[in-house]
Amino acid sequence: MKIDIKKKLLSRSDRVKCVDLHPTEPWVMASLYNGNVYVWNYETQSLVKTFEVTDLPVRAAKFIARKSWLIAGSDDMQLRVFNYNTHEKVASFDAHVDYIRSIAVHPTQPYVLSSSDDMTIKLWNWEKGWKCMQVFEGHSHYVMMVNFNPKDTNTFASASLDKTIKVWNVGSPVANFTLEGHDKGVNTVDYYSGGDKPYLVSGADDKLVKIWDYQNKSCVQTLEGHSQNVSAACFHPELPVILTASEDGSVKIWHANTYRIENTLNYGLDRGWVLAYQRGSNDIGIGYDEGAVVIKLGREEPAISMDNSGKIIWARHNEILTTNVKSGIEEYSKEGERMTLPVKDLGSCEVYPQTLQHSPNGRFVVVCGDGEYIIYTALAWRNKSFGRALEFVWATDSNEYAIRESSSSVKVFNKNFKEKSGLLSHVKFSIEGLFGGVLVGVRGSSFLNFYDWETGGLVRRIDVVATNVYWSEAGDLVTIASDDSFFVLRFNRAAYNEFIESGGNPGDEGVEDALEFVTEIPESIKTGYWVGDCFVYTNTLNRLNYLVGGQVNTIAHFDTNMYLLGYIPRDNRIYLADKDANVYSYNLSLTVVEYQTAILRGDTETAESLLPQISHDQRNRVARFLEGQDLKELALEVTTDNEHKFDLALQLNRLEFAHEIAKSTDSESRWRILGDVALNNWKFNLAEECLKKANDLSGLLLMYTACGNVDGMQELAQKAADEGKNNIAFSCYWSLGDLENCLNILVNTDRIPEAAFFARTYLPSHMSRIVALWKEQLVKSNKSKIADSLADPQEHEELFADYKAALLAEETAKSKKTVTPSIAYSELKSDASQQPELKESLTANDSTHSQKSMNGNAYEDELLSAPDDERIDETMSHLSLEVNTTGTGSIRGDVDFDDASSQATQEPEPVKE
């Protein structure tokens, strides 16, 4: 029997005494001789959890997944329970009076069995505070293992060094019966989980493995092959194999029906101690002296096949079952839901099925397994032919098939199941794979040769390591899958026939024009199927995709592995199965595929004729496809999705159309996007409307500032103030020259220090009011000392340079406030210098400030020493400086101003001497 074996984890550690696999997470738990319990993720190869249980060996540990627990038994005679998510110790108690050897968890009840060197087995109930419900006595030596019967969970079996196996009932302290036959101590026992055989397997220190019929209480078979003690033995829950581990360092895989050794594994980790499996999985955990290993046996892909009418046949062990998707097509209510289908028994198979495959016309089904093939009729399940083969493939016309007998022999048979002698006898290289379809594909070590079914002649050699080959129904397209990508080629039979008829010699490379490269897609295929000129496939990322003319479209995403069964045109649906042969379906309209194919070929007439046949729920998918082909005008006509229409209209610069869509949906985000695009296209009226609808005050500020829109700026200032967007309101008022409102914003937002500096610079007439507010604020903050140090300019005019001149300049600026072009600045300057009141004030200040005042600085000294005209000019310029006094550095957003002068309101720190 051919079994694929893949190593998923090899982790070196101290001696492993027990392993267990988690039922839902990719975790393997290993309990070690050094007293620790480790949990590895065998998908990521990482250690995810560590439990320091004790300083003594932990010989037994199991997951209790439904409680998020793990339970461990150690040589200090205690059982300990941990929550593996929180690492909390849930329970710890003395369980036995000697070393604990084994633990078994009941699959449904709150029961745990433990066995010990004290020769007893105990049953514990965690719902009753880990109360011991029963003690089972009867063994006369160490009890090495206990295991529940999966078919009758009220019974369990135990293995002991007293050379016996005992079967017990949970409710009775006395064993039901004893199996004797080993010459030395028995280390392991396990039940067969299938329903067809009442078997047990055991392994012992006599180096033997025995298969027992526990109903007849007899030994069915003895397996010899290990050279040291057999430490562990188990039936695989899914495959017809028995696994055994021994102190000779090897793990042997035996056929469960023929009892032949199929494979022997040795990972060089010294003695093997334990095996673990999980129902529903092909993963196996192995514990050694020097670490733990996880391997995967066989394929997860089920042995299942569907014909063109929707009839499905699959294997459950040796039983063959059937159903039809027609009976469940009305049952599904949601895309991708599991279909409820009536299942019928079709018969059984003499070999263990590893693959099932309908002939292309659906009349026959071939079953492959155990190195043999059997051809059955699909309806009556009658045996039509059989033989030895490693692989079997059908020809597209169903009249022929080929088999690979060995790495050096491929045979072809006709529709009467007779061999076409010598057809491919000229194939001399080592044959590693065989593929069917329009041509026979024979894989070598690094290439794939295609041969003609009729003549056996070489058609073409392709230098690729192929994992699978998929042919279209028409036979003109072929997909060749490799490990990390797949290729689509076009087969030109006419070119091949013409070359052969003209007397050409294909040689070792074949006919170059026979296969033409179409495209390569960097994805790894799991399963594939051609629907017309569309290739549907599942990939390793668990996606269902289809390929049309070089463009990949995704139909669905999966949480688990899915396998394509086929496509039924009458249903417009793709059918898939999971590893448990549950069937799912997804919609794929053949009309849509034909439309896309016509578009890619440039056949617009055919595409136009097909469009009315496409249902409205498929139009959006078609529109996305058209957009991907840069046919945006056509996509805009086809799509029914307003959001997609809006995006396409913007891409096509059809702003009025986008405007209509935005009005119908009234979405702020769409108005904002449309406003930005309108600005870029100089559509200012449209942009203003969109920005107003989007309530984009920052955008309006930018636009009004650039356009010099005074009315708009005033309206925006009021709206921003009402909405509390103070930065924008301040910027608007500043741009408008409305200094009083700027000051009011600073006061209303409790920015009194900034307001004081602002008034000192631009509105000196408001300084007294603001200083009073500042003092009041400081007093409330218990900063009276600082408040007392603040001077009011009306009361202490001598402390403020040019105060009267500033007042007069403010008054003059107010009286002359108007919208004036910048070129009039020199005229205004000359006019200001002619005012005698202002000149007189400045002259009077010369004598007052002959020395530097308290608030004086170099700038003031320079100003006072300057001619009158320059000083008036400087004073006026303070009233028109466009400086952001808030310290924020930004006018966008609605956050409050930064307190740039907060340090001025702090108590002074004492000076260190």
Q: What is the CATH number of domain 5-297?
A: 2.130.10.10
* 227, pLDDT greater than 60: yes
Q: Are 402 and 410 in contact (CB under 8 A)?
A: yes
564: phi then psi, degrees, rounded to nearest 5: -70, 135
- pLDDT, mean over the chain: 85
Q: Provide mean pLDDT across the span 62-80.
A: 96
Which of 197, 345, 207, 190 is CA-nearest to residue 275?
A: 190
Structure tokens at 764: 């000196």
pLDDT of residue 54: 95
| Beta-bridge partner residues of 293 | 10, 286
pTM here is: 0.66
Could you report the per-residue pLDDT of 95-152, keeping only the tens digit for each?
999 999 999 999 999 999 999 999 999 999 999 999 999 999 999 999 999 999 999 9
**Quick check: 530 pLDDT over 90?**
yes
pLDDT, residue 865, reads 43
Mean pLDDT calculated for residue range 774-778: 85
- pLDDT per residue as tens digits for the range 717-732: 888 888 888 888 899 8
- Res. 830 pLDDT band, cuts 50 70 90: low
Distance, CA of 473 to chain centre: 34
pLDDT digits over 293-346, tens only? Answer: 999 998 888 999 999 999 999 998 788 999 998 876 555 556 788 898 999 999
Helix axes 668-680, 642-651, angle to 10 degrees: 10
Mean pLDDT to the nearest integer, 521-529: 94
Return the pLDDT at 818. Answer: 62
Other CB atoms within a 10 A radius of the CB of residue 272 amount to: 30
Asked whether the predicted pLDDT for residue 907 surpasses 70, the reply is no
Q: Is the pLDDT of residue 665 over 80?
A: no
Local structure of 101: helix, strand or coil: strand
Output the pLDDT for position 722: 86
Long-range contacts of 151-155 (CB under 8 A, 24+ apart): 151/191, 151/193, 151/195, 153/106, 153/107, 153/108, 153/109
- DSSP-derived pairing of the beta strands 468-471 and 458-462: unpaired
As a whole-number percent, the residues of the chain with pLDDT over 90 amount to: 52
Residue 182 identity (one-letter amino acid)? H
**CA torsion angle 829 831 834 836 (round to 10):** -100
Which of the four pLDDT bands, split at 50, 70 and 90, describes residue 837?
low
Nearest of 285, 164, 203 to residue 236 by alpha carbon? 285
**564/25 Cα distance (integer angstroms):** 25
Residue 35: pLDDT above 90?
yes
The pLDDT of residue 859 is above 60? no
Q: What tokens appear for 757 in the block?
A: 């500096």
- The confidence band for 820, taking pLDDT boundaries of 50, 70 and 90, is low
Query: Residue 851: which pLDDT band, with cuts at 50, 70 and 90?
Result: very low
How much is the pLDDT for 910? 40
Phi, psi of 832 (to 5 degrees): -65, -35
What distances in angstroms separate CA 346 from CA 318, 321, 380, 580, one per listed residue? 11, 5, 8, 18
Q: Which CATH class is domain 304-523?
A: mainly beta
Question: Could you write out the DSSP letters of every residue in 329-351?
Answer: TTT--STTPBP----EEEEE-SS
The pLDDT value given to residue 906: 42
The 10s digit of each residue's pLDDT in 80-100 is: 999 999 999 999 999 999 999
CA-to-CA distance for 236 and 275, rounded, in angstroms?
10
Nearest C-alpha neighbor of 234 from the set 265, 263, 250, 256: 256
Residue ranges with strand state E in 733-791: none
Q: What is the pLDDT of residue 434?
A: 95
CA torsion, ordered 777, 779, 783, 787, to nearest 10 deg: 80
Question: Same CATH topology for 5-297 and 304-523?
Answer: yes
pLDDT band at 862 (very low <50, low <70, confident <90, very high): very low
- The answer to whether residues 746 and 769 touch, using CB atoms and an 8 Å cutoff, is no
Instruction: Give the pLDDT confidence score for residue 330 in this predicted structure.
Output: 56
Of 213-227, 345-359, 503-517, 687-701, minimum mean pLDDT range: 687-701
pLDDT reported for residue 850: 41
The pLDDT of residue 132: 96
Question: Is pLDDT at 856 greater than 70 in this prediction?
Answer: no
Query: Per-domain residue ranges for the chain?
Result: 5-297, 304-523, 739-903
pLDDT of residue 396: 92
Neighbours of 17 (CB within 10 A): 22
pLDDT of res. 55: 94
pLDDT for 384 equals: 93
Contact 638, 592 (CB under 8 A): no
Question: Please, what is the end-to-end C-alpha distance for the chain in angstroms?
Answer: 94
**Range of lowest pLDDT (9-23, 98-112, 160-174, 621-635):** 621-635
pLDDT tier at 848 (50, 70, 90 boundaries)? very low
Q: Is the dihedral of CA 599, 603, 606, 612 positive or negative?
A: positive
Alpha carbons within 13 A on the beta-carbon side of 657: 16
